[in-house]
Amino acid sequence: MHTKRVGWAGMLMRWLLLIALAVSVAVLSNQDPASAAGRKAVRILHYNVQGITDLFNGEEYNLTPYDRGLQIGDKILAGDYDVVTLNEVFDSGMKEGITEKLKPHYDYALTEMGDTSTLDGIFGNSGLAVYSKLKPLPRSDLGSIVAKQIPVLKPCPSPDGGCPDEYEMVDVTVPQLICGTYHILDSYGFDSSCSSGFLPYDDLYHDDSYSSKGVGWVRLEDPAGLPLNVFFSHTQATYSIPDADAETGRAGNFAQIADLIRWVLPGQSLTNEAIVLTGDLNVIAGSTEYDTLIGTNSELHQLGLEDTWAVHNSPKGKDPGFTRRLMNTHVLIDEEFKSDQRLDYILAKYPRGCFLHSTVKRDYKDTKGTDLSDHYGVDITIGTSAAYCSPSTAKVDPPEGANAMNLSAAGNVQWMYFPDPGTYTFKAGAGTPPAAFELTAFAENEMSFPVEPWEGSPALTSREETVEYSPPGPFYLRIRPLKADGSHDKDWTGPYTMQIHQATGATWEDAIALHPTQPMNATMVKDDGIHPLQKEVYFKFRTELSDAQQKPWSTFKLKQKRLLGGQYADPASNSPPKSFAYAIRESKNGPTLYGSGASQVTLPAFEKTFGSTTQTLGTGGYRLIVSRTQPAVNEAAYFAITYETNLRILDIVELYCIEQEDLTGDDDPYLNLLLDNTASSTFHYPDTDSDQGHNDPASVTGTALKPHRIKMLSKAEIKLMEEDDADDDDLLDSTTINAGPNDNGTLQQDKLQGDGADYRLKYTVYQLY
């Protein structure tokens, strides 16, 4: 049976938005948009911490809520945020732990909102909290704005009573309804003025109806002295698929969010002041509901709010920004949850601002490697609108050589976008005063964690230092000035020069990096009077021994190409096949380890493979040299090379216990691994309760494998064992993980069951990049 709660206001009418037109625009307008030009960077974090009291949680964590709150506080402090909004801070111990860490650094906070004493059937508060380093900025012009009308019983004129009930409609103003009311249960730094408030939702269903969910609001003074309105919420959750009640509830929740924004930002304030809405909004990005409630067809979009991740951080849509993933140690693949989702958002409108960068905090783990919540946090840095200040405004495909750049806004960063995969070398320099720069690459489909440099370090302390990147696809480059201690220099501005070089493969030193399964285009140029006819292209690649100390094989597939409209394309069917040779060397003047003479590509595929599965190599870096004989005519040769190998990386993501085998106490599980029929290792996990997962084993015996980076060639045979003190250990179940040609890191989940125990093994298999 569905449970629905309708608030006392909702029983009578949809809350009326009766803006007092008599209030002049001059009074209501607090800021001139032009004054926003001086904004400084602001960092905001949203995080659903799953701080649900253990009795109702259905999830066992390694830590008490208080201790988990302490570790969450440490993560927040490391991010140096100006404003932090949290969801699901229901547990008092967790609130205590987080506040204990944050209060010395955050002077203002609302740590508990949502009345639980006057609404029947409400057992929990809203779970919302906000911590701010920015001071409150009260409004004094909301008193004449009527938010709603409520019926009030008229007094009975007869001293003996007996009058029939008569009601009159009474205006309730925004300050009376929102500001400094009983809805703020615990706070510090804020007073009862109109700088904060909370609006409970009318329509909540299922278990959500037992809490006082709603939307919170704080008006803060940003570093430039301008108003920043932060709204934060946790809207109606979905309890089944489909769930029409939940969708109805969310629609009502979003309508009330829009009402609150209009109430506290009347007149020109709605245009001139910054607005940020954060929260686990329980809307799946990309869904029809998303289009209605968040996308360009939504009421929030009409108010000027944009989905900062989709519009500014991943403008091409390649990084979905999932905030609840199957990879999370507190999430299982089941009939209702089969795919990753983006449920947590930062929506914003920031006059003259720029959304510099957002990241999903997938690294928020406890000291044992377990995720601190079933959601990932999402953050954003907001700076000043200026050239190339965000991924969406990046300088696209900058030319080879020197690029004159200018960082005009203190605290900003600048971005470049490279649509073509390749091997790129960068350096940056400024004249007076000399400046250090950090050049960080982010793959187009992974904007939260940077690409590892192929050579060098992102931090360049002199104009002569270089860093080399070779992502397997299109990527962004973030440029920011550094202080001597390596932190972001938020005061530096000025002109600087970016030197860019894309490797051509013409020499040993200018080799093009290869990654498994990723085709890389290349050209042998013709004699153009400046460059001689090119007959060799140099590539570089890396490989490693497996953990069983076996050498993987490395082969290379060549595909003949042509240039069509400036782009590499497959050759025409009547194109003459070309001949190519190859050699593999470890050093420039060293011997050829493998190779063959020139031979034609095979038709009709125009392909050939260099080497076979007997072409094995040990750990190290190598060069592949592709060559051609002297052509009969002066012409270029175009082709693509794909690196293939049987080396795989196995990541044992998590061992999750649904039901224990030992009903009298904790299970003591361990995994026996046999790798490629050779290497044996045992992962010993901590004592395990039902509904508890472990990301890392407590210890590893036998072959010293790294659980999240196991190098294998063909297969891993795994047995799940349970330790018994009195009897022999129990074999509960087993599974075999086989390497395959399409291993791409997709999360897998195997059931391991036996003797009444029920476990899930999460793992991924991917190729080395």
Profile the chain (769 residues) by mean pLDDT over runs of 10 residues: 42 34 33 45 98 64 92 98 98 97 98 71 81 96 82 84 85 81 86 90 91 95 95 95 94 97 94 98 97 97 98 97 93 76 98 97 92 97 98 98 96 97 96 86 98 97 94 96 93 95 98 97 95 96 97 98 95 96 97 97 97 97 97 96 98 92 76 96 90 90 96 98 79 96 92 92 92
Cβ atoms 202, 169 nearer than 8 A: no
Rounded Cα distance between 726 and 724, Å, is: 6
Give the 3-state secondary structure of residue 384: strand
φ/ψ region of 755 (left if φ > 0, alpha if ψ in -120 to 50, else beta) reads: left
Considering only CA atoms, which of 50, 134, 37, 46 is closest in space to residue 380?
46
Cβ atoms 72, 49 nearer than 8 A: yes
Q: Cα angle at 278 between 274 and 280, to 5 degrees?
A: 165
Cβ atoms 583, 508 nearer than 8 A: no
* Sign of the dihedral through C-alpha 172, 173, 176, 177: positive
Question: How are beta strands 401-407 and 108-113 bridged, if at all?
Answer: unpaired
Rounded Cα distance between 158 and 573, Å, is: 102
Phi and psi at residue 14, in whole multiples of 5°?
A: -65, 130
Cβ atoms 615, 594 nearer than 8 A: yes
Could you tell me which residues come within 8 angstroms of residue 419 by beta carbon, excluding any fewer than 6 positions away? Answer: 396, 397, 474
pLDDT of residue 665: 62
Rounded Cα distance between 376 and 371, Å, is: 8
pLDDT of residue 692: 85
pLDDT of residue 52: 86
CB atoms within 10 A of CB 225: 12
pLDDT of residue 210: 86
Q: Cα angle at 92 between 88 and 93, to 5 degrees?
A: 105
Cβ atoms 765, 652 nearer than 8 A: no
E strand residue ranges, 284-376:
306-307, 344-349, 353-361
Considering only CA atoms, which of 25, 212, 203, 16 is closest in space to residue 119?
212
CB atoms within 10 A of CB 555: 17
pLDDT of residue 9: 38
Rounded Cα distance between 377 and 131, Å, is: 15
Element (H, E) at 638: strand 637-645
Considering only CA atoms, which of 625, 629, 681 is closest in space to residue 652?
681
Phi and psi at residue 206, in whole multiples of 5°?
A: 55, -145
Rounded Cα distance between 732 and 720, Å, is: 6
What type of residue sits at position 160? D
pLDDT of residue 183: 84
Structure tokens at 332: 């299982």
pLDDT of residue 132: 99
